[in-house]
Each structure stands twice: as structure tokens, then as C-alpha cells.
Chains A and B, each alone.
Chain A
Amino acid sequence: MVRINGNDVAAAGQNLQAFLEQKGYRCDRIAIELNGAIVPRKTYAAVTLHDGDSMEIVHFVGGG
């Protein structure tokens, strides 16, 4: 399992870029932190998700 935004998701073993596209995330609008480190957008395709990983996927929302 991969912990994504606080939820366990069956994504272990998947390529990050492929996972994001399959789940419908807009790669040009998000930022990703994997196990506490930022993953640059251009390296998504080179990252494999592992069991026990913790990932945050964030984007901008309205705010002051």
C-alpha cells in the first residue's frame, strides 16, 4: 500500500507518471512530495512507488 494524502492506495510497484495519468491527476497543476522530498515534475516517469511510501499530492485552491 502507498499512503496518498492520508489514505492507503494500492499503488505499490506502479510508475508514478502512469499512476497519476490513470487516476486522472492533472500533472501540470500539481506538486508531489514523496517520503518528505519534493519530486520534480520532469522526473515523475522515472519514479516507482513502493509499499510503505507516503505521498502528498497538492494543488492550488482559493485562499487569502
Chain B
Amino acid sequence: MENDDKLVLGGHEFTSRFILGSGKFSVDLIKAAVDQAGAQIVTMALRRVEAGQKDNILDFIPKGVTLLPNTSSARTAEEAVRIARLSREIGCGDFIKIEVMRDSKYLLPDNAETIKATEILAKEGFIVLPYMYPDLYAARALVDAGAAAIMPLASPIGTNKGLSTRDFIQILIDEIDLPIIVDAGIGRPSQACEAMEMGAAAIMANTAIATAGNLPLMAQAFRKAIEAGRAAYLAGMGRVRETASASDPLTGFLGD
């Protein structure tokens, strides 16, 4: 891969295009997962802390990794803004992944509230990465609201069902002039690769890694798939045709 192929988010450059979630697995495995994923960005969530609770996930994240807190548990723009501000107060940078959802069965994002939260937080200097349902008008509104990237879902969170929204993500890739980071529902390396071949700027995955039999090995498989898909996209796909096209010269046969 060319070293000058950078993912740029809010003026920050990344060579990795794999954003790793840190949920649903032991903190003891985070370092191995991050290392094998080659991830430079890791997501996390904000929750209440108990008195005397000494263990903290930040102690397990390798140095130099950019933290991407999410606003999960927010049901409205107002709650997302509150969580974002508290997250920034912990002192790990200005990145925020907005998640606003009220539906607990499918965890689908509320695009309208997400747009409102994006506008407020972008004005406050946050680098805003909104998780959204892949809708072109909502994506355009997020661009106008100051988002640094758009994060459309492939399938509902945690389902590992792959690119259910494939054609609509392609529309966003084609029409939106911001990095499109496919988030949620990617279950296999092949699906991550396909999204990258389509022109996605990056992949965010958590459950696919966290629920794998060998977590660091799956992180490595995703890294390779994402790199392969990116290289294929940059290379430009070979053409498809209906009839055969010989790969070998059609002259100079033995016995001619």
C-alpha cells in the first residue's frame, strides 16, 4: 500500500482504515486486538463509575491510539451533546462518534436527532463522526452540520449480518464528499473487503472481532481484508464481460 494513502478525519491523518470497537471483550485482550488490527482509532463508551473502581479501560489502550468515544445510551440530541461534553472532559481529545437511538430492538440511529447533535458539537470544536442510517438527504445534512465523516450502518449493531444496506452505502460513497466509514453489522472480513472495494474510506467493527473464536487472529484477518479491499479500490477493478476473453495468446499453437 502506498504510504501516502491517508485517512483524514478533522485534519488528523491515519494510515489504518480499521476502527476497532472495544466492547464485549476483556480489557486484557485489547492490546493484542489493537496490535493485530493495526488500528489507530479505538471506540469506547461513557458510563457511571463506582467508588473505588480501579480498573479503567484507558490503562489497556496502547499509547498513540486515538480514542473515539461514542454517545451510546443517548436517546436525543441533547443527551448526545451531554455525553460528548463529558467525554471530552476526561481529556482524550476532540473526537466523538454520535449514536442516538431510541429503538432497543434494532438499535437503529435516529438521523434527525443525530443531525442536530452534529451541528451543536461541530460548532464546539468536536471532530464529529455520526453513526447514521444510510439516507442521502440525511448524509447531506450531516455534511452541512459539520461532520468530519459519515458512518452509515451495514446492518443493525451486533448482528454480524453484513452489507444489508450495500446499494445505499454506495450512493453515499458516490455522492458525499466526506469519508464514508461503514459501521455496524459487518460480520466477516470478506464483507469488510467488499465495502472497501466499493470505495468506503474505513471500516468500524466490534462484535465480529469480539465474538470470534480467536479474537486477535480475527482482528488480523479484518486488517488484511480491509487493506486488500482498499488496494483493489485504488487499483481499479478489472472489467466484467459476458463472453470469454482468452488470457493466453491465440496464435503460435504447437502443431499449427
Contact = CB atoms under 8 A, between A and B. Distances in A.
Overall SS of chain A's interface: mixed
A31 B54 contact: no
B51 A60 contact: no
A57 to B, nearest CB: 5
Interface residues of B, number: 40
A61 B90 CA distance: 12
Contact of A33 (B56, B86, B207): B86
A39 B41 CA distance: 27
A30 B54 CA distance: 11
B89 A40 contact: yes
A23 to B, nearest CB: 4
B45 A26 contact: no
Contacts of B47: 58-61
Contacts of A38: 85-86, 89
Interface of A: 5-6, 23-26, 28-33, 38, 40-41, 56-64
17 contacts: A5-B50, A23-B51, A23-B52, A25-B49, A31-B89, A32-B89, A57-B48, A58-B47, A58-B86, A59-B47, A60-B57, A60-B67, A62-B25, A63-B44, A63-B72, A63-B206, A64-B23
